[in-house]
Amino acid sequence: MIITKVKEKLEKSDILKLYQKGYKTIENYALGIEYERLPISSSSYKAISYDSENGICNFLRQFAKEENWDYITDDYNIIGLKQEHDTITLEPGCQIELSIKPERNIFDIEKKIKSLNKKMHNLLDKSNITLLEYGVSPFVTHKNINIIPKKRYKIMAKYLWGILSDVMMRETAGIQGCFDFSDEEDAIRKFKLANKLSPFITAMFANSPIRGGVETGYKSFRALSWLNTDNERCGFACNLDKDFSFEKYIDTVMETPIIFLNKDNQTIDVNGKINFEDYLNNGYEGFEANIEDYKLQANLYFPEVRLRNFIEIRNHDCTNMPYSVLAIYKSILYNKYAMSEIEELLKSFSHVDLAELRYNVPKNALQTNIKNHKVLDITKEILYIAEKSLIEMNTGEEIFLEPIKELTLKGLCPADIILRNWNGLWNKDIGKLIKYLKKLSQSSI
């Protein structure tokens, strides 16, 4: 007699293990980066398309051939490249993202990215492509930027209901940092602290005031676009004043409407008709929930800070200071004394205070007020604590704070420099802005 093993139903305990797999000893902590940039024509300043002769697809194809990288495909379309643990992938509007194997030290991350940038540079130059380290498309808006041929992105573009969701998908570029934890208590402490820090760090790195060739009135138009993408899956993933846990995070993900499912090599367009909890309990059109479905659902949830088997911090405009972002968070999240100091610094601000700040920072950045305090004054304290912590670590990584310190201690974010020149020497000339951004980008090569 043949006994057929019945597949057990997905349980919350199965999902919980995804997060518990991230536990690491302090000695094995690493950090990672996801580093997006905007590809534009070096001559016309227009956004680079996917499938033109000198487009992104041909660039990826040529780079794979010359450097021996493997294709990442979606329905036979090239949507990225991989080599061991490193990837070069495309965001919806052809933004190029580098994601490399996590390292213990920021110097090692810098070395790897600079090496990749050098390898990419000659090919990009031949294709008349410049990668801008900037938060939003400076010249062309989403109406003239097509979604790349990736099924997931097309479904997302149709579903996301915020008035600036198309801007977020097609026009923006950011820097994300990834950090480890030792157990659930440590993870939740770091998660809540990263959320509390996020609007302050957003203000420090605000770098998207000019969009579509005009001044927007915002210092981070990228941050504004996330405020207007989909409030059911963006923002803070928890109430910062209340107890939190892995299980409560899972509940939040499960309460979020499902956009689509991947089943039997086909994409099932759910379009928000049910949430994941309904799907887990009742199935959908004959399909039952499995762990891969949950992973997809969690990946289509876009909070300021996302919990995986590591902590992913997602709220920074792209600038030419990616390592400064990593240095700030490493200095705090990997030093228990620095964590305590930051908790003390921010303890008077409630969840409501910080949620309101998140809405005000895109416009005024460092000049925003929270209660009776200037964000600028608080960021200076954050930098002081960060520098002290990195010096104590004795790795030399405090050097990566220098670029952002130079700005913040003068009361400036990158957008302030751009706006001063835009309304002064540049006389609102988009070409001069692009030339300035291109010059800054050379430091990454």
User: What is the DSSP secondary-structure string of 392-432?
Assistant: HHTSSGGGGGHHHHHHHTTT--HHHHHHHHHTTTTTT-HHH
What's the confidence (pLDDT) of residue 155?
Answer: 95
User: Tens digits of per-residue pLDDT, 276-329?
Assistant: 999 999 999 999 999 999 999 999 999 999 999 999 999 999 999 999 999 999
Return the percentage of the chain with pLDDT > 70, whole number: 98
What's the confidence (pLDDT) of residue 442?
Answer: 81
pLDDT band at 3 (very low <50, low <70, confident <90, very high): very low
Q: Is residue 7's pLDDT more than 80?
A: no
What's the confidence (pLDDT) of residue 121?
Answer: 93
Q: Is residue 352's pLDDT more than 90?
A: yes
What domains are there in the chain, each with its CATH number?
12-256+301-444 (3.30.590.20)
Structure tokens at 32: 């990672």
What's the confidence (pLDDT) of residue 421?
Answer: 98
What's the confidence (pLDDT) of residue 6?
Answer: 43
Across residues 13-27, what is the average pLDDT? Answer: 97
Relative orientation angle of helices 246-255 and 12-20, to the nearest 10 degrees: 120
142 close to 169: Cβ distance less than 8 angstroms: yes
Q: Is residue 233's pLDDT more than 50?
A: yes
Structure tokens at 163: 């008035």
Across residues 172-187, what is the average pLDDT? Answer: 98
What's the confidence (pLDDT) of residue 2?
Answer: 46
Structure tokens at 284: 């959908």
What's the confidence (pLDDT) of residue 293?
Answer: 97
Structure tokens at 279: 């799907």
Q: Is residue 4's pLDDT more than 50?
A: no
